[in-house]
Amino acid sequence: MTDLFSKTIIEAINRVKTSVVKIERISEQQNKEVVSGTGSGFIFSSDGYLFTNSHVVNGAKKLRVTLYDGSSYVVQLIGEDPSNDLAILKISAGDFSPAHLGDSSQLQIGQLVIAIGNPLGFQHTATSGIISALGRTMRTQSGNLMDSLIQTDAALNPGNSGGPLVNTDGEVIGVNTAMIQGAQNLCFAISIDTAKEIAYQLIRFGKVKRSYLGIVMQQIELVPKLRQIHELKNKTALFITQVAKGSPAERGGLVDGDILYYFDNKMIETSDELFKMLSEERIGRNQSVSIIRNNQKVELKVMPVEKDA
């Protein structure tokens, strides 16, 4: 008899597994096609659009996906956003079972999650764990800051990149992107709310243009006493762990340890909300920023710049 915990995991996997694909980079060697790299992805629309990571597909001359039923297709790269490590692919033929996309704004630390992908070529491998932290920022190997990351201890390995991170309802709440080399159980996924915003721009324009502040942050809960003293409606806010040298944030006066709770006169509780607000329209325009510093409210002005690709 299957226990309740196992049953929950099994049911979640069954809801999403047919949408998960294996992605292969195809190159030519001595007039023969060979697989030069693999990754994961998942179908999120009935007309064949897929999420994956930019680093899985970047620079590839030809890409092939293998579906759950074993059928293979050559896919088209619709667009990629290297700075956020996301890419959108499209299959032009077939009848697809898309994954259901969830809502990352409702996630909680300690929540059970499942990662599905093709680590080291082992197709449709599932691992489980919990959400360890929310709203993380991480610097990529190219030096870019990736925002709105979910930290999890669900094991990821090379080849998991681009696969879905799902909740116990089988809803995708993140796109698996990275693990910390040399560390155990330090893995990251791009939150699905941020991924949706990037996908919209990639499908519509083929590229993403955004504004940039230059802060490393983490989503935190505000203690009731702090909320009461400052009459804050926020339950959560963004704790700034690092301000990049020479960045708009530094020029505007933000420092390590500040707690950002309002941006452009709007309440900010999650990194997804801030990401959505850092649109192209705010490049070169002063924005009001409300922070708590040393238990005091501080009002600043910050002028975002265009984020490098």
HEC profile of 193-252: HHHHHHHHHHHHHCCCCEEECCEEEEEEECCHHHHHHHCCCCCEEEEEEEECCCCHHHHC
CA 2 to chain centre: 33
Class of 211-306 in CATH: mainly beta
Please state, as a whole number, how many other Cβ atoms lie within 10 Å of the Cβ of residue 303.
Answer: 15
Q: Looking at residue 105, what DSSP letter applies?
A: G
3-state secondary structure of 293: strand
Cα–Cα dist 131/189, whole Å: 10
Whether residue 242 contacts residue 216, with contact meaning beta carbons closer than 8 Å, is answered with yes
pLDDT exceeds cutoff 90 at 184:
no
Interatomic CA distance for residues 279 and 243, integer angstroms: 20
Residue 309 has pLDDT above 90, yes or no: no
C-alpha to C-alpha distance for 227 and 230, rounded to whole angstroms: 5
Strands (E), 222-268: 236-243, 259-263, 266-267
pLDDT given for residue 193 in this prediction: 96
Contact 302, 254 (CB under 8 A): yes
Q: What is the pLDDT of residues 207-230, one digit of tens each?
A: 888 899 999 999 999 999 999 999
Is 85 considered catalytic here?
Answer: yes
55, 211, 271, 290: the catalytic one is 55
First CA to last CA across the chain, in angstroms? 52
pLDDT score recorded for residue 181: 67
From 161, 211, 247, 290, active-site residue: 161
Positive or negative CA dihedral for 279, 282, 284, 286?
negative
* Helix, strand, coil % in the chain, rounded to nearest 5: 20, 45, 35
Q: What is the C-alpha separation between 135 and 98, in angstroms, rounded?
A: 26
Active-site residue, from 85, 147, 193, 258: 85
User: What single-letter DSSP state applies at residue 18?
Assistant: G
Does the active-site annotation cover 161?
A: yes
- Enter the DSSP assignment of 130: E
- What residue ranges do the domains of the chain occupy? 4-90, 211-306
Q: What is the pLDDT of residue 141?
A: 64
Q: Which two tokens stand for residue 260?
A: 């950002």
Please state the separation of Cα 306 from the chain's center in Å.
Answer: 20
Active site residue 124: no
Question: pTM of whole model > 0.95?
Answer: no
On whether the CB atoms of residues 283 and 305 are closer than 8 A, the answer is: yes
Q: Is the pLDDT of residue 183 over 70?
A: no
Other C-beta atoms lying within 10 Å of the C-beta of residue 285 = 11
| Residue 99 CB partners (closer than 8 Å, separation 6+) | 16, 19, 20, 42, 43, 44, 164, 166, 171, 172
Nearest to 40 by CA among 127, 105, 169, 109: 127
- The CATH class given to the 4-90 domain equals mainly beta
Question: What Rg, from alpha-carbon coordinates, does the chain have?
Answer: 20
pLDDT at residue 123 is higher than 90? no
Q: How confident is the model at residue 5 (pLDDT cuts 50, 70, 90)?
A: confident
Distance of CA 91 to the CA centre of its chain: 22
Work out the number of other CB atoms within 10 angstroms of the CB of residue 121. Answer: 12
104 pLDDT band (50/70/90 cuts)?
very high
Phi, psi of 271 (to 5 degrees): -70, -25
- Give the span between the Cα atoms of 214 and 261, in whole angstroms: 16
pLDDT of 297 over the 70 cut = yes
- Residue-wise pLDDT for 162-180, tens only, equals 999 999 999 999 999 977 7
Phi and psi at 230, nearest 5°, equal -100, 5
pLDDT of residue 206: 87
pLDDT-derived band at 1 (thresholds 50, 70, 90) equals: low
